[in-house]
């Protein structure tokens, strides 16, 4: 058990809809990272938050957004969903954020857009 909790584990939704994925980091970790794993793009970094503030952005679409709350849990919002958004979405957390002591991943949310 990595200590990172993601909900839900599975999500099936229709094109054009909006969904929210939730991540609770390991106790004490201030940084949260979101990654997308798809068949064609592999594992890609989307966005990082550190103690409530956005710190880095990767290949995140404008239809996607994220936030980190005062209790450090994070949510990834995906809107106007397309078939190509079907993927496994991972959250990871790490320590101080200034040096990566070890990125531990949650079990992922498998999103299927139909």
Partner 1 sequence: AQKVTQAQTEISVVEKEDVTLDCVYETRDTTYYLFWYKQPPSGELVFLIRRNSFDEQNEISGRYSWNFQKSTSSFNFTITASQVVDSAVYFCALSEVSGANSKLTFGKGITLSVRP
Q: Supply φ then ψ for residue 63, to 5 degrees.
A: -75, -10
What whole-number distance in Å separates Cα of residue 65 and Cα of residue 77? 5
Nearest residue (CB) to partner 1, 98 versus 112:
98
What whole-number distance in Å separates Cα of residue 89 and Cα of residue 48? 14
Q: DSSP 3-state assignment of 7?
A: strand
Q: Does 33 bind partner 1 (CB under 8 A)?
A: yes
Q: Where in 41-100 is the site for partner 1 (CB under 8 A)?
A: 42-45, 48, 50, 55-56, 58, 88, 90, 92, 94, 97-100
For partner 1, the binding residues (CB under 8 A) are: 2, 31, 33, 35, 42-45, 48, 50, 55-56, 58, 88, 90, 92, 94, 97-108, 110
């Amino acid at each position: 058990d990595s200590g990172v909790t993601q909900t839900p584990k599975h999500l099936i939704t229709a094109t054009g809809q909006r969904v929210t994925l939730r991540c609770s980091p390991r106790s004490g970790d201030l940084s949260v990272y979101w990654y997308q794993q798809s068949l064609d793009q592999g594992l890609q970094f989307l966005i990082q938050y550190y103690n409530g503030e956005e710190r880095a952005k990767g290949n995140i679409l404008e239809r996607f957004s994220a936030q980190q709350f005062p209790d450090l849990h994070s949510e990834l919002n995906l809107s106007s969903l397309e078939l190509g958004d079907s993927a496994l979405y991972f959250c990871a957390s790490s320590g101080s954020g200034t040096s990566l002591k070890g990125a531990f991943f949650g079990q992922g949310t498998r999103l299927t857009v139909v």
